[in-house]
Chains A and B, each alone.
Chain A
Amino acid sequence: MPLYINNKTSVKVEDRIETDINLNIAKVHARLGTSMDVVIREFYMGNGQAVAVLFIDNLVNKEILGRDFFAPLQAVSGKEWIKPAQICKEILNIGELREFNNFTELINIVLQGWTALFVAGADSAVAVEAISWPQRGINEPGTDVVIRGPREGFIENVRANAALLRRKIHHADLRVEELSLGKYSNTAIVLIYVDTIANKQVLSEVKKRLQRIDIDAILDSGYVEQFIQDTAYSLFPTVGITEKPDIAAARIMEGRTAILVDGSPVALTVPMFFAEGLQSSEDYYNKFYYASWLRIIRVLAFLANIWLPGLFVAIVSWHPQIIPVRLFLSMAAAEKNTPFSAGLAMLLMLLAYEILKEAGVRLPKPAGQAISIVGAIIMGDAAISAGLISAPVLIALSLTVTASFVTVNLSEVSTVLRLIFLAAGWAMGLYGLLLVNLLLLFYLSSLSSFGLPYFAPFAPLNWQGLKDVVLRFPLWNLQFRPLGLSLNRRRMRVHQQEEK
């Protein structure tokens, strides 16, 4: 039995569906213009009843329409006039069917790929879901790459993405709510959460923020992210992102809400804590000691990523006495022939790296490789040979760049922080670095994500939460969900093995 939903409501005069098919067709032309992909086809059902079909070419599955829509309609026998509701319930045997009496709502759903059927003599129309458009297959995303763990990633189809999550959480309490955003784009936004786990206050805040968005078009989840984040000018991401269903499912199970945006393979998860930037899905698939080791490496890499250029310049320019003497002399010899100070050289090399990185990402793959080679030769060898920069600067930069790939989730903020720390180290030495660190801690502690403290479990300190930040305790020790995300905090019970 196909799903039938009656969407009939009280409507304004101009939004009425007319009983005369020609009037409806004229209204369609008036609303959609003469777009080449708008298909309107009039025909008679098997019982001689006049109907008109409206759909957008290439958004529908013509095979399904031919088999499950046109064929049953033309096979109707008798002379009796059939109501739209009857057509839905007795004749069509297709996925989802809705009956509309609001013309605007009907047009909106047609624009999403549904097929509309106007019935002569009826003041309502039938909408049939036979959506099909070209889409790429589910494959491994470029980010969140793992050695161990699921490889599938989200795609641009929001319904497929919701299904991927549904496949991970087979429970009646999983809620999948849809809304539409964007005055012109009418983009489908899907909220997914577990009703008995999610914090209702946070959830209502998420919905409130989503409903506040008033924009022409939502083309990617990035639009939504920027509109719903807590602080407009926040350096740190307060909305989590992921391209992988297993990560999204894990976050939903912690009490978060996933927001899927049609047309975007990146799902948003809220609220987000700073510590999430240091976590990877693989941490939970590996043994706890190895996962903890990786976490420590990630923390060190994040710190190296933001501190190293500033620390290098601060030490070389302000506190060279703390460098071992022979290394100091070696560095002095290397710096002797370069025209730039250590700070300026580091800044120029960081800019050169950012340019090369951007070029490498945007260019087609073969050209991207060429740029990488040129970049490596220019930055790695020619710049030193020509005496533009010294080898120690390049070594510090290389370590920084390598470390930046370890915490990809925090790459945007790291790029900015790196420059801030460089400026501080260059202008004020180690004192400047300490000062900026202090300010950064203040700032992190002041941030919140959907009303929850962003720097938790460090501030406010929560010992239970610390079991899954820098170290990853054994799974049986992580019995509680992060504080604030859910009122139902216990996520597992550990049963002692019976002694024989």
Chain B
Amino acid sequence: MVIGKRLLPVLCLCLLFLGACGNRQEIDDVAVVLGVAIDGNEDEYQLTVELAAPKAPDDLGEGVFFVTEGTSLEQAVDELNHQLEKELFWGHLQVIMIGDPMLPRLMEICEYFHSLRQLATSSLIIAAKGNAGEMVQQGFGQADYASFGIAESVRLLQTKSLWPNLRFVMENLQKNRKVDLPYLELVKIGDDTRLAIITQDDIIKEYEDDDE
């Protein structure tokens, strides 16, 4: 068949690109990462991740938090993979929260996440005044998952510029432009510790329950 003979080289060429798809993963075989907080110092990374634990189609459940450490981000993630015995799925990562001391390494952190397969480039990058791990566990609002609450609130309140997602931050850093990240901070309101969003030291929103 003439058409078959003509198509054969095209087919062979197409097969070369198969690797671009990566490996197949069933959605019930992966650990879905919704939020990640990065703390640490010059020698060590501390990673706090929120994993999704849906119970039923009509009950999405609550987040489960894991904390790991490593001398590099790769090592910390590998350690987490080892603990979970499941592959981490980054496709629905909502927020990457970076503690104050780690901000000088922002470019390095962004490059690492950007290199991850299936990463959602719409993930928000948020700076944390203090311990990012604590804040990500604290959550924001009454969303079922802490990361959802943080992401939704930041998207609502960040009016000064585009949402500081991974792609936006990377592009600006590569062009040596200043990036205004939204800051989160734990604040004391009465006896409660609450999360608040601040930008450039101006508190623009404090989290308050509707009844307060």
Contact = CB atoms under 8 A, between A and B. Distances in A.
12 contacts: A319-B118, A320-B30, A321-B120, A325-B148, A328-B27, A330-B54, A330-B60, A333-B56, A333-B61, A431-B21, A439-B11, A446-B3
Interface in B1-60: 3, 7, 11, 14, 17-18, 20-22, 24-28, 30, 32, 34, 52, 54-60
Contacts of A320: 25, 27, 30, 89, 91-92
Given A326-B60, A328-B92, A431-B18, A342 B55 contact: no
A317 B25 contact: yes
Interface string A418-459: 000000001011111001000100110010000000000000
B17 A431 contact: yes
A405 to B, nearest CB: 28
Contacts of A319: 118
A333 B59 contact: yes
A435 B54 CA distance: 34
B131 interface: no
A332 interface: yes
Q: How large is the interface on A (under 10, 10 to 19, 20 to 34, 35 or more residues)?
A: 20 to 34
A391 interface: yes
Contact of B26 (A321, A333, A341, A432): A341
B137 interface: no
Given A329-B54, A330-B54, A332-B54, A342 B26 contact: yes
A146 B208 CA distance: 62
A41 interface: no
Nearest to A322: B91
A249 interface: no
Contacts, number: 81
Contacts of B91: 320-321
Nearest to A334: B57
Given A431-B21, A435-B14, A331 B27 contact: yes
Interface in A323-368: 325-326, 328-336, 338, 341-342
Contacts of B118: 319, 321
A346 to B, nearest CB: 12
A318 interface: yes
A318 B24 contact: yes
Given A321-B120, A428-B21, A446-B3, A329 B60 contact: yes
Rank and list the top 5 A-B pairs by shortest CB-CB distance, nearest first. A321-B91, A333-B54, A335-B28, A329-B54, A446-B3
A197 interface: no
B167 to A, nearest CB: 14
| Majority DSSP secondary structure for residues of A touching B | helix
Given A316-B26, A317-B26, A329-B32, 13 more contacts: A318-B21, A320-B30, A320-B89, A321-B92, A325-B92, A325-B94, A328-B27, A328-B32, A334-B56, A335-B28, A431-B20, A439-B11, A442-B3
Interface in A385-435: 391, 426, 428-432, 435
B28 A336 contact: yes
A341 B24 CA distance: 11
A342 B22 CA distance: 18
Contact of B57 (A333, A429, A431, A432): A333
A336 B53 CA distance: 11
B32 to A, nearest CB: 7
A440 to B, nearest CB: 12
A399 B27 CA distance: 21
B203 to A, nearest CB: 29
A79 to B, nearest CB: 75
A324 to B, nearest CB: 9
Interface centre among A329, A334, A431 (most CB of B within 10 A): A329
B54 A439 contact: no
Interface in B83-129: 89, 91-92, 94, 118, 120
B54 A336 contact: yes
Nearest to A231: B1
A391 B55 CA distance: 15
B20 A316 contact: no
B125 to A, nearest CB: 18
Contacts of B7: 439, 442
A433 to B, nearest CB: 11
Nearest to A317: B24
A236 B54 CA distance: 44
A332 B32 contact: yes
A500 B140 CA distance: 74
Interface centre among B11, B18, B24, B91 (most CB of A within 10 A): B24
A341 B28 CA distance: 9
Contacts of B22: 318
Contacts of B52: 329, 332
Nearest to B14: A435
Contacts of A316: 26-27
A332 B28 contact: yes
Nearest to A446: B3
Contacts of A318: 21-22, 24-25
A334 B25 CA distance: 16
A312 to B, nearest CB: 12
A428 B57 contact: no
Nearest to A316: B27
Contacts of A317: 24-27
Contacts of B148: 325
B139 to A, nearest CB: 16
Contacts of B59: 333
Contacts of B32: 328-329, 332
A32 to B, nearest CB: 47
B120 to A, nearest CB: 6
B92 A333 contact: no
Contacts of A443: 3
